[in-house]
Amino acid sequence: MARKKPDSSEQKAQEEMVGLEEAAGVLKVSRSTLTRMLAQGRVKGFKVGRQWRFRRSDLGKFSQMAHPSAAAVKVPDIEAVLKKLPPVPSGKDFEILDVALEGYPNTEEEKALQRLFLALLHGALAAGASDIHIDPASDASVIRFRIDGVLHEVARLPRAAHRALVTCCRYHAEIPVDQWLVNHRNLFRVRKGDRIYHVLVASMASMYGPIVVMRILAAEYELPGLERIGMMPEDQERYLRALRAPTGLLLVTGPTGSGKTTILYAGLGQIVSPEIKTYTIEDPIEMALPGMTQIPVNRKGGMTFEHCLRAVMQHDPDVIMVGTIDSLAMAEGCIQAAISGHLVASTLHASTAAGAITRMLEMGLEPLMLAESLICVVNSRLARKVCPQCAEPEEPAFTLLSQIAERARAGGYTLPDSPKFMRGRGCDQCRGTGYRGRTGLFEVMELDHDLYRLVMERAPAKTIQEAAVKKGMTTLVADGLRKAAEGITSVMEAARVTTEW
């Protein structure tokens, strides 16, 4: 019996089918990546025996999604945004380092996006921004700078241009442009004048499309003095006394973006010397520190904080800075290192210095271990400073002034008879906000025998704080009111960044 010849439609379907190797080439991914995408259901394929087969038409559709074309971008829209941003210097006055862009940009639309990307980077650096946010909305791509801790919208692009702009960002950070559903993070370097910066690019999926946040870090940075970051002399003395201790655990607490790492850097810069072997374990390394051995965490390679700490302990350290304590295992590792004869400094997310003790105990630490190792806790916030160009005196209402005086007194600070409260009217220098630059608010709690006893008794954080104030500590709220009374920040800003009143 003669075999039935396939008709033209069947022949066409067979011709459209390709194997795994060819499909990977079409999508410009590796075989392993394509296999993973199949398992995740992100690519449509057919199992024929033990082999995978793919329709070219399906691959074409996915390729457009994985490598979004900039054809939807209208160059005039990009040019309109570029006019709102500072012009980018030419040559080596501003350039991206170490990144080889193969095949990008090659179209007029991609070249326009590249100009926009550079202009955003340069504009953020010129404005002193700490982050660039590129977020998709239902009808637009919203670009914002975080300046002095507050987000400011700088541009909006048509919704159709969002994915192509994100692709441009991912190219520069060497993040795979075909893995939209996977969270990624990577660094690249940029030079502006004689300064080099690290840009940490984080990308993840959202309801309306991929999100990108680019955090700007100073790769080479002159360490600020403790007085420059706003720490009062008496707090500096307590902090440096703890840093010069031969052993013990020192914690710097506060929420994300409260300056914890900068405080550690500034403090370590005061004690570094050829006689002291200092290691830092960070994720990522935010800036190069002279005189210290800095170790980056590589979670994918198995180099977690815990693994790095165990490895560093074999290298005869004197001082160890650990980026963060976020688990019981990490807390126990830091305490063991402190008890065994090393000074360990780390950060912890807690709202108050006394609350850090409660947080460590809630992790599961034994009170005895914590009491034997913990020597100092620094709690911090960043408050915006009143703009010096448009500052003017402010006189709070009598009822508010009474409340301010009472809160300051409860926190260990007595308001002066003639406080110099100030506020900013708003001007071009401060973008109409009334604030320019930031200063730190601090509470520095040294532990002594009385506080150790409270730790052993698992006393509430409020009880520990009250005892610390009696021994000379100034609370975060009181330090904020002190800086408001000195005209450095405003009363409203001090209230905004502290949570107790």
Question: DSSP letter string over 155-206?
Answer: EEEEGGGHHHHHHHHHHHTT--TT-TTS-EEEEEEEEETTEEEEEEEEEE--
Least confident of 95-104, 248-257, 450-459, 462-471: 95-104
Q: Tell me the mean pLDDT in the region 143-153.
A: 94
Whether 11 shows a pLDDT value over 50: the answer reads no
Query: What is residue 384's predicted lDDT score, i.e. its pLDDT?
Result: 96
pLDDT at residue 14 greater than cutoff 60:
no
Residue 9: predicted pLDDT: 47
Q: Which residue has the higher pLDDT, 44 or 100?
A: 44
Predicted TM-score (pTM) of this structure: 0.78
Give me the residue label for tokens 């990522």.
Answer: 284
Burial class (CB in 10 A: 0-12, 13-18, 19+), 373: buried
| 421: pLDDT strictly greater than 90 | yes
Name the strand (E) or helix (H) holding 271. Answer: helix 260-271
Look at residue 146 in the predicted model and tell me its pLDDT.
95
Q: How many CA atoms lie within 13 A of 392 on its CB side?
A: 6
Tokens standing for 428? 């071009």
- Helix%, strand%, coil% for the chain, nearest 5: 40, 25, 35
DSSP characters for 373-413?
HEEEEEEEEEEEEEPTTSEEE----HHHHHHHHHHHHHTT-
Predicted confidence band of residue 460 (pLDDT cuts 50, 70, 90):
very high
- The mean pLDDT value of the chain amounts to 87
**Predicted confidence band of residue 346 (pLDDT cuts 50, 70, 90):** very high
Q: Is 102 left (phi over 0), alpha (psi -120 to 50) or beta?
A: beta
pLDDT tens per residue across span 356-398: 999 999 999 999 999 999 999 999 999 999 999 999 999 888 7
Between residues 456 and 173, which one has the greater pLDDT?
A: 456
pLDDT band with cut points at 50, 70 and 90 for residue 318: very high
Q: What is the pLDDT of residue 170?
A: 87
| Pairing of the two strands 319-322 and 278-282 | parallel
- Residue 454: is its pLDDT beyond 70? yes
d(CA 219, CA 472): 37
Contact between 334 and 309 under an 8 Å Cβ cutoff? The reply is yes
User: Residue 194 — pLDDT band, cuts 50, 70, 90?
Assistant: confident
Distance CA 13, CA 15 (A): 5
Give the Cα separation of 237 and 246 in Å (integer). Answer: 16
As a whole number, mean pLDDT of residues 200-206 equals: 90
In angstroms, rounded to a whole number, what is the distance separating the alpha carbons of residues 167 and 233?
48
Interatomic CA distance for residues 384 and 490, integer angstroms: 8
Instruction: Report percent pLDDT > 90 for the chain.
Output: 54
- At 478-496, the pLDDT tens digits run 999 999 999 999 999 999 9
**pLDDT score of 10 more than 50:** no
